[in-house]
């Protein structure tokens, strides 16, 4: 089984970089089980296709607007994920929407897709997260670890 944890976002635009910051924290806290790849997708688009092709499961971490309050955490699964990316928060989400469609067209869609996201407070040019969104890093890292555990590839805490 191959699982990809994908953090996406623009770290130059404050909270828009949440996904990248979150997966960095994930890798500092946990050692991944065999078959789990953590990918910093940044703001790339179709360039991620080869890395995602053949993944059995995909966990995406991103800054999202899905009805939650600012700094609120959301978890979407299944068909809600591609549907969510039809409304864009930022240009990189266009790329993810295209990749998911291309994977489906190529017959290599993941068996499951989970999106864990936080609604941004600020998208200003700044390399730091707002305090409200930074406070979501730890809970989201735990959520990602729980997703991996549920898939049977539990990460191990680093010493």
Secondary structure string (H, E, C) spanning the chain: CCEEEEEECCCCEHHHHHHHHHHHHHHHHEECCCCEEEEEEECCCHHHHHHHCCCCEEEEEEECCCCCCCCCEEEEECCHHHHHCCCCCCHHHHHHHHHHHHHHHCCCCCCEEEEEEECCCCCCCECCCCHHHHCCHHHHHHHHHHHHHHCCCCCEECC
pLDDT digits (tens, 9 = 90+) for 4-51: 999 999 999 999 999 999 999 999 999 999 999 999 998 887 888 999
Domain ranges of the chain: 3-157
* Mean pLDDT score across all residues of the chain: 90
CATH top-level class for 3-157? Answer: alpha beta
């Amino acid at each position: 089984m191959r699982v990809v944890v994908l953090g996406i976002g623009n770290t130059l635009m404050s909270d828009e970089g949440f996904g990248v910051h979150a997966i960095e924290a994930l890798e500092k806290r946990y050692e991944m089980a065999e078959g789990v790849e953590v990918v910093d997708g940044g703001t790339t688009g179709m360039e991620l296709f080869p890395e995602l092709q053949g993944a059995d499961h995909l966990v995406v971490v991103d800054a999202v607007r899905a009805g939650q309050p600012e700094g609120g955490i959301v978890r979407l699964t299944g068909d809600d994920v591609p549907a969510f990316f039809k409304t864009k928060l930022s240009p990189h989400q266009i790329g993810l929407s295209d990749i998911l469609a291309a994977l489906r067209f190529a017959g290599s869609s993941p068996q499951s897709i989970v999106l864990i996201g936080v609604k941004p407070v600020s998208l200003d040019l700044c390399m730091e997260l707002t305090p409200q969104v930074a406070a979501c890093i730890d809970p989201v890292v735990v959520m990602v670890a729980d997703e991996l555990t549920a898939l049977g590839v539990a990460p191990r805490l680093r010493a």
